[in-house]
Structure 1
Amino acid sequence: MADLVKKHFYKITLTIPEEFQEMSSALLSDFPFTGIEDEFDEQSFTIEDVYWDNGNIANQLLSILESTSIPAEIKDIMIIEDQNWNAIWEESLEPVQVNESIVITPIWKAHQIESPIKIIINPQMSFGTGYHSTTRMVCRKLQEYVGANSHWIDAGCGSGVLAILAEKLGASYIYAFDNDEWSIANTKENIHLNNCTSITVEQESIFSINLPQVHGIAANLYRNLLIPNIHKFAKALEDSKGVLIMSGILRFDEQEIIDCAVQHNFIHISTEYEGDWTAITMRYNP
């Protein structure tokens, strides 16, 4: 029997500012990529060689992004051999120690972990692991502010880590939402893995949703989603005069976010930094 021909792939790395990456992923979702990797200010798209079309596909990506005013340039193109990508990726994921009491761990390494608060997730390559520095910062802030029997919102829940942590910290009701159907599916899976019973999950857009009254909100969202919707967060905290924990914010956007929130009757409590990212905590105080 003839040997099977081994597949080859092209990995196209583009420089794309982090705040545009969610939008670029959506715009390019019709291409037959086998993987997308997000890094700080760059995205990599891997595609099988049968779709390479003598490199024309790279120019197609740039053309689509430029047509929507997303700044992008080709940084690198490389050829890679076929491998068991999922196995390699899974092996690279280690449990993340958020602090002395909180650990986020992939399900296949959960048995190795002993921690006061253990969050078990089934990470997905397509949209994230819950390991980003913004998630870690919000986790630490939730530990400060979630009270027994409190009600919370997880805005842009992703893998559901923040909603799960809120329940483990004592919240009796958490409303989690995201506009991405795969995020919703993964959040529900992770809720089941952690035996959570107090989380309601819905696929909703932040621009059209009506938020319930709560004691606190964790909003791990980009600047372009936070600023137009801070008035909604204020309304959801009217009764409790509660806290708003915002992340997904780059350092150079920090003051703009604070100023916008102050205009909606929030007062600034604290800002935490990790690398180029910030987490801002504010309280509604009309």
Structure 2
Amino acid sequence: MSYIELSLQIDLDFAEIMMAELAELGFESFIETEDGLEAYIQEDIFDDLAVKNLIETYAERTAISYSFKQMAKQNWNEEWEKNFQPISIGKDIYVRADFHEPQFGYRYEIIITPKMSFGTGHHETTSMVMEHQLNIPHENKKVLDVGTGTGILAVLAEKLGASYVSAFDIDEWSVENTTENIGLNNTNKIEVRLGTIEDEPKDKYDIVLANINRNILLQQIPIYATFMSEGASLVISGFYESDIADIQVVAEKAGLKKVGQLSKNQWASVVFKS
């Protein structure tokens, strides 16, 4: 599978909103650069006209230029090694790749070596979900990780004491990468598969995690609710603070109650309870 790399030169004030817009078009991985953004999408779903129309819209508001190139799968790890730096989330979690040295003094160390998958902890949406996880009891809980990406949330769930984690993604790269990262973290209670929420075996979970995007969440929150046991937590992210009201309306119609919220740089993450 080949990917298209979109390189954008744009005012950094517009980088975050551009990521959200490109995610709606199917772009799944992003790297912020000194002069803008690099975004990646599977070649078979790439729509150059849709991207050009989006860029023309923003060109009315800020200076912007761009270029495309095809990126072969085998080049991806090399690119990430050049750009991926370890991060810490509070004083509890340290996220690094396997080519970085361990850092002691944290409660949880997570090793994530990404391929083409979204979710390394660098983006606000991922880090906020992880912050929420730290405040939700996981001991002996069953967890469903929707759109697992790199598997980072699933790995943290097991490290927090989950007895079983079901993780899935529609992208074969993500499933391959999650499987690899499960091995790097010596986690053995995570079951990962290729697929969608529609073909997830019907079961009840204590915690459901979904770091995706606004449109998919608006469509699928009622489905997530059917997988939640009584008193279960739903942790979602991938949208802006301005989207919270719409998200909350859908969640409340599904019988869920908002109990927590985090915001960073206009991005938001919300917790609901059944």
Q: For the residues of structure 1 that align with 2:91 and 2:39, how far apart are their CA atoms?
A: 36
Closer/same/farther in 2, CA of residues 120 and 65 from structure 1, 3 Å limit = same
What residue number does 1:259 align with?
Answer: 249
What residue number does 1:246 align with?
Answer: 236
CA root-mean-square deviation: 3.2
Which of 119, 130, 136 aligns to 1:145? It is 136
Q: For the residues of structure 1 that align with 2:23 and 2:67, how far apart are their CA atoms?
A: 23
Normalised to the residue count of structure 1, the TM-score between the two structures is 0.75
Where in structure 1 are there 5+ consecutive unaligned residues?
1-9, 30-35, 47-59
What residue number does 1:199 align with?
Answer: 190
Q: Report if the CA contact (8 A) 2:110-2:156 is conserved.
A: yes
1:22-42 deviation digits (Å, cap 9, x = unpaired):
45346xx9xxxxxx74559x7
Q: For the residues of structure 1 that align with 2:226 and 2:193, how far apart are their CA atoms?
A: 20
Q: Displacement, 1:164?
A: 0.2
Q: For the residues of structure 2 that align with 1:162 and 1:155, how far apart are their CA atoms?
A: 10
Indicate the larger mover: 177-186 or 91-100. Answer: 91-100
Structure 1 residues 71-82: aligned runs within 5 Å: 71-73=54-56, 75-77=64-66
SS at match of 1:195: coil
Q: Report if the CA contact (8 A) 1:103-1:119 is conserved.
A: yes
Closer/same/farther in 2, CA of residues 233 and 14 from structure 1, 3 Å limit = farther
Q: Report if the CA contact (8 A) 1:134-1:248 is conserved.
A: yes
Specify the code of the residue in structure 2 equivalent to 1:271.
Q
Correspondence 1:168 to 2:129:
no
Q: Report if the CA contact (8 A) 1:151-1:173 is conserved.
A: yes
Q: Displacement, 1:259?
A: 1.4
Q: For the residues of structure 1 that align with 2:6 and 2:147, how far apart are their CA atoms?
A: 29
Q: For the residues of structure 2 that align with 1:206 and 1:21, how far apart are their CA atoms?
A: 23
What residue number does 1:228 align with?
Answer: 219
Query: Quick check: which has more Rg, 1 or 2?
Result: 1
Q: Report if the CA contact (8 A) 1:153-1:214 is conserved.
A: yes
What residue number does 2:8 align with?
Answer: 13
Structure 1 residues 59-98: aligned runs within 5 Å: 62-65=48-51, 71-73=54-56, 75-77=64-66, 89-98=80-89
Closer/same/farther in 2, CA of residues 78 and 65 from structure 1, 3 Å limit = closer
SS at match of 2:262: strand
Q: For the residues of structure 2 that align with 1:14 and 1:25, how far apart are their CA atoms?
A: 20
Q: Displacement, 1:248?
A: 0.6
SS at match of 1:241: strand
Identical-residue share of aligned pairs (%):
28
Closer/same/farther in 2, CA of residues 39 and 208 from structure 1, 3 Å limit = farther
Q: For the residues of structure 2 that align with 1:113 and 1:218, how far apart are their CA atoms?
A: 28
Q: Report if the CA contact (8 A) 1:146-1:166 is conserved.
A: no
Q: Displacement, 1:206?
A: 3.2
What residue number does 2:113 align with?
Answer: 122
Q: Displacement, 1:240?
A: 3.0
Q: Report if the CA contact (8 A) 2:158-2:189 is conserved.
A: yes
SS at match of 2:129: helix
Which of 186, 189, 193 aligns to 2:180? It is 189
Specify the code of the residue in structure 2 equivalent to 1:141.
H
Indicate the larger mover: 162-171 or 228-237. Answer: 228-237
Closer/same/farther in 2, CA of residues 65 and 92 from structure 1, 3 Å limit = closer
Q: Displacement, 1:203?
A: 1.0
Q: For the residues of structure 2 that align with 1:183 and 1:86, how far apart are their CA atoms?
A: 13
What residue number does 2:25 align with?
Answer: 24
Where in structure 2 are there 5+ consecutive unaligned residues?
11-16, 41-45, 69-74
Q: Report if the CA contact (8 A) 1:271-1:281 is conserved.
A: yes
What residue number does 1:133 align with?
Answer: 124
Indicate the larger mover: 264-273 or 92-101. Answer: 92-101
1:248-285 deviation digits (Å, cap 9, x = unpaired):
1111111110111011111110110111211101101x
